[in-house]
Structure 1
Amino acid sequence: MPITIIGAGAIGGVIGAYLIRNGEGVVFVDRDEAHINAINENGLTIQLKNEAFTVEAKAFTPEKFIASHPYVDAVFLAVKAQHTKEAIEPFEPLMKQDSFVVSFQNGLCEYDIAEVVGAERTVGCFVNLFADYIEPGRIEYGGVGSLFIGEINGTVSERVTDLRDRLQCWGEAKETENIFGYLWSKLAYGAMLTATATTNNEIADFFENPQFHGVLNALGTEVLKVAEKQGVVPEPFDDWNPALLYPQKNEQKLQQSYFQLAKRLRGYTKTRSGIWRDLAVRKRKTEVPQHLNPIIRIGEEHGLELPITCRLLSIIQDIETGQREMGMDNIRELESLMQESEIS
């Protein structure tokens, strides 16, 4: 079954390149014409810490792909969360009865995809890898993490097992019956990373310094409380174990896990988040509202107030619009609000 990857940036580019190198039939689709042209002319280069490799690949803009392809089989959607529906809607008419879409994204994009193509044609995916689009035709792959595939109805299907096997060429991809457990766990972890993106400090600076653990704990706890109300059991991954924070915080083990996270992050060539890069380098809006607004909305439905999460969202939006500078003052503001709210 050929794979169409919509979004040839950091995640889509890395996953696709490894699949191509393993002999899989992969086609890239992306709106960035310079990137598409570079891939078609010179291939896609993945820059690792100590080496690089280039694969030959076919790449199209969405319009050219749709005009030249009568159908799609497996679709890997790897666009920013805010572009989910607009990216997948033009491809829905090309989908056959057994075609499906896998969300290689951050957030709860599976719900948006299901609204367009149907829940039965939507596959959940949790992916935690550190990569950046550097320039047309070139992606920096800065750190390997975990990848889990699962049906959104909590079952393990033949297509999930097949995807797991095919993705072994990238790394240790696994199947799961609790895909939303991983997605909500990453939402909690991602809220912490978002806070680091309001500064120019590296992510590891926050995890290895106990001074910042309070604000990290506050953000993670708010998200995990909402997950609990949803009946979701968050899963651990890559040295992040949400059960150490909530519902019963184990201060000593949690701190040790943060130190271990910092050690892991220090080994990556990518030291800051993609959100930081969007704000500081690419000067564009982030996908943070699409990550945090659903959490806030669901929390409100359950009668939960999320003051730290709401303020973090406001800070990010102020930075996006130029009304606020990046810096440690943003963390101090969150810490002050945390103390006022008696959250720790």
Structure 2
Amino acid sequence: MTKQTPFPRIAFIGTGAQGASIAADFTLAGLDVTFIDQWPAHVEAMRANGLTVKLPTRQLHTPVKALHLCEIAEIKEPFDLVFMVVKAYDTRWAAEMIKPVLAEDGFVVGLQNGMTHEAIADIVGAHRAIGAVIQIASNMWEPGITTRQNDTDESWFALGALDPEQQPRVHDVADILRNSGTVQVVDDIRSAKWMKLVVNAAELIPTAIIDTAMRDSVRDPEFLEVMRRAGYEAMEAALADGATIMPIIGMPPVMSNHPERYVDEIFDEVVRTFSRDDTLTTSLQDWRKGRRAEVDEVNGLVVDFLEARGKAAPMNRKVVEMAKEIEAGRRRHHPDNARELVAHYRELAQ
């Protein structure tokens, strides 16, 4: 590395809907970026035709350097900066795969849902791990083509080092990531990650269970209360873990410090600013593609965390139970499921 180019070699492991669009921004900015993905058809499409990014008012196209996962073993020169954008449940194996080709003074940045920064730090070392919060809506249904519903002026990230001694270097990473959106460097990345998990617990799996777009799900006032209750329980878990209530996704510091009012404010902002009428949560996209969603890593984490401390998370537990039934093939993700979740909420509210 040099002072002028602190991260000359950059890789993205996981170049689906989110990772591909961010990596494309970096590529178009003239950075040296390698795309690594586990979907063979996607890699081959990018090699043959480049990557297309569809944005709300424009379209980008760029040639890219794309590798299959198996080709990581052929890499000779280490990467200085790796952005991990795989599913939360894939974090550990992805970190193990990239560790041998990560520079000694390099970083892995987990642009993911859940508390994945801890798993990354376990594998590559806390001194080489950067936690991150990401807020972008996007989808990918065809290899080589991603649709990003938030352009760079609406995309938001937070970054923070796990090793306090590395925090000054995070600003260099933030400068690179600003090619793709607004970036805030925070001293307490753990709290920021918890605040995002609070939102995810309310929105991701609940809306997937009823097979409905985000904005449609909140139009039902009773189902909205189901989602808020899941978020309230997640906030209880965050506070039990010592997290500090803090603004994320560009919201002002004058937000409420009351836990439930905070959940309401941050959830409303996600729906208002970061969703479109056709926005599907990543969990619903996973199920429609026949894949499992991040159930254990979001709502399941809330349940496990609170129950380990002698507390209950009954709404999140119900969400997890129904999600597991869907993934086991014993239930369909369908709008009719809303009745069961609303009935459960009413029982809890009595």
Provide the residue aligned with 2:123 in structure 1.
116
Provide the residue aligned with 1:150 in structure 2.
160
Question: AA paired with 1:48?
Answer: L
Question: AA paired with 1:276?
Answer: L
**C-alpha contact (below 8 Å) 1:204/1:262 kept by paired residues:** yes
- Residue by residue over 1:259-300, the C-alpha shift from the partner in whole angstroms, topping out at 9 and shown as x without a partner, is 66544356x3751111111112x0111122222333222212
Question: AA paired with 1:275?
Answer: S
1:264 to 238, 261, 273: 273
Q: Distance in 2 between matches of 1:255 and 1:63?
A: 44
Q: Which runs of 5+ in 1 are unaligned?
A: none
Question: AA paired with 1:181?
Answer: S
Specify whether residues 260 and 37 from structure 1 end up closer, same or farther in structure 2 by C-alpha distance, changes over 3 A only: closer
Provide the residue aligned with 1:232 in structure 2.
243
Q: 1:245: how far off?
A: 8.2
Q: Which runs of 5+ in 2 are unaligned?
A: 1-6
Q: Secondary structure at the match of 1:275?
A: helix
Question: AA paired with 1:234?
Answer: I
Q: 1:76: how far off?
A: 0.7
Q: 1:27: how far off?
A: 0.3
**C-alpha contact (below 8 Å) 2:140/2:147 kept by paired residues:** yes
Q: 5 Å matches for 1:1-344?
A: 1=7, 2-143=9-150, 144-153=154-163, 157-193=167-203, 194-238=205-249, 247=258, 249-250=260-261, 261-264=270-273, 268=276, 270-280=278-288, 282-342=289-349
Number of aligned residue pairs: 339
Question: AA paired with 1:337?
Answer: H
Q: 1:314: how far off?
A: 1.2
- Residue by residue over 1:31-52, the C-alpha shift from the partner in whole angstroms, topping out at 9 and shown as x without a partner, is 1121111111211110112321
Specify whether residues 261 and 92 from structure 1 end up closer, same or farther in structure 2 by C-alpha distance, changes over 3 A only: closer
Q: RMSD across aligned C-alpha pairs, in angstroms?
A: 2.6
Q: TM-score, normalised by structure 1?
A: 0.90
Question: AA paired with 1:147?
Answer: F
Q: Distance in 2 between matches of 1:184 and 1:254?
A: 12
Q: 1:247: how far off?
A: 4.2
Q: 1:15: how far off?
A: 0.9
Once structures 1 and 2 are overlaid, which stretch shifts more, 62-71 or 271-280? Answer: 62-71
Q: Distance in 1 between matches of 2:283 and 2:168?
A: 35
Q: Secondary structure at the match of 1:11?
A: helix
